[in-house]
Structure 1
Amino acid sequence: MKTSVVILAAGSSSRLGRPKQLIEIQGKTLVQKAVDEVYRSRADSMVVVLGWNPVLIQTGFDSAKVPSVINPNWESGMASSIQAGLHFLLENGEIDQVMIMLCDQPFVDSEYLDQLFEEGLKSEKGIVASFYSNTRGVPALFSKKYFPELLALKGQDGAKKVLLEHRGDVLKIDFPNGAIDLDTEADLRRLMDQLGE
């Protein structure tokens, strides 16, 4: 079972006012932390999807060793970034399932990613999704039968649209910390307080 991961890091962080991908948490940028956690997981490959100021964001991770792709249409919404990542992976090898994850969920670690992989294998569901704030979300794992739907998403549609349209084929994994992302300085302050930094 070949598993690849799309790390979404294309946004401009407009609400935060500075690139969240480059925020340092425990000595690492958020984008490098995401990359490191995927490397430590059972995933077979990955790609980082860039958009806004890709040259700057590439300074935040080992871009010489980590595959990345630039989405020129990143401003159109998350759909185009998911598709840029999935197209890259499909063009560079056979994959059976894809994990979609964000670079700004600081509590996503390799153990949690592996939990998603393992629970998916045991359940035989086509989708394994994180459950937090009373909704399904990412990180989420999609079997290849859902690749056409991911590639058909439009505009602001993210992976959640596919999750909601196939509720009966979704295994939900409770992940309360998935609700913690970094859209504002207040979010960042709360996180730093929580981590004692």
Structure 2
Amino acid sequence: MSLTGLLLAAGAGSRLGTPKALVHDAAGSWLTRAAETLRDGGCDDVTVVLGAAADEALTLLDGLGVDVVIASDWADGMSASLRAGLRALPAEAEAAVVLLVDLPDVTAEVVRRVVAAGAGPDALTRATFDGRPGHPVLLGRGHWAGVTATAAGDRGARDYLAGSDVLLVECGDLATGDDVDAFRVE
């Protein structure tokens, strides 16, 4: 099976005070760490969706061997990035593991657990953290059209997932899955 990692990193990070793709903490760049998390988690390829500060973010990805997509309509919300990313994935990809850049404690082990629970063109698998749905989300190719058709604003695939039979995979023992865009990390 061909599995592609899809990293959404286009947001302006208005609450953070800097574009999400440029944020770093003591462990380094969130952008490079998330791309490596997807690859180390079992993804054959990684596609990164950029938007805000794309030119600066591109320099952080030099040498990582990832594909980059620029979502020109990134300001419309996460749904625009998700649609742009799914449309750009390789034809041979049977499934995509979607990860958000602002989840710095999600590790390759979380990705591996989600992938191991079910992958393939019909898979729909989602990490949970102490019962709370989160990311990564594994979307089999059979779901991409539905996801792109229903994605709106900052809701991404939320509405599609809510109306679907999703396999939930508990990962709270591995990470918090907390979205860190509500405060600035130095």
- Per the TM superposition, whether the score is higher than 0.5 is yes
Contact 1:47/1:69 (8 A) holds in 2: yes
Contact 1:130/1:178 (8 A) holds in 2: no
- Residue 150 of structure 1 is matched in structure 2 by 147
Deviations, residues 58-100 of structure 1 (Å, cap 9, x unaligned): 23322673210100001111111111111111xx331111111
Amino acid paired to 1:39: R
Contact 1:21/1:31 (8 A) holds in 2: yes
Compared CA separation, residues 84 and 125, structure 1 to 2 (3 A) = closer
Contact 2:49/2:81 (8 A) holds in 1: yes
Q: Distance in 1 between matches of 2:119 and 2:84?
A: 26
- Residue 69 of structure 1 is matched in structure 2 by 69
1:99 to 97, 100, 103: 97
Contact 1:6/1:47 (8 A) holds in 2: yes
Percent identity over the alignment is 28
| Count of residue correspondences | 183
Structure with more of its chain in helix, by fraction: 1
2:84 aligns to what SS in structure 1? helix
Contact 1:136/1:160 (8 A) holds in 2: no
Deviations, residues 86-126 of structure 1 (Å, cap 9, x unaligned): 1111xx3311111111011112111211111111159x973
Compared CA separation, residues 111 and 163, structure 1 to 2 (3 A) = same
The 5 Å alignment of 1:1-197 reads 1-62=1-62, 65-89=65-89, 92-121=90-119, 126-132=123-129, 134-152=131-149, 153-166=151-164, 169-176=165-172, 177-185=175-183, 188=185
Q: Distance in 1 between matches of 2:63 and 2:79?
A: 23
TM-score, length basis structure 2: 0.87
Q: Distance in 1 between matches of 2:53 and 2:119?
A: 38
Which of the two has higher C-alpha Rg? Answer: 1
Contact 1:22/1:31 (8 A) holds in 2: yes
TM-score, length basis structure 1: 0.83
Q: Distance in 1 between matches of 2:167 and 2:134?
A: 11
Gaps of 5+ in 1: 190-197
Amino acid paired to 1:74: W
Cα-Cα RMSD: 2.3
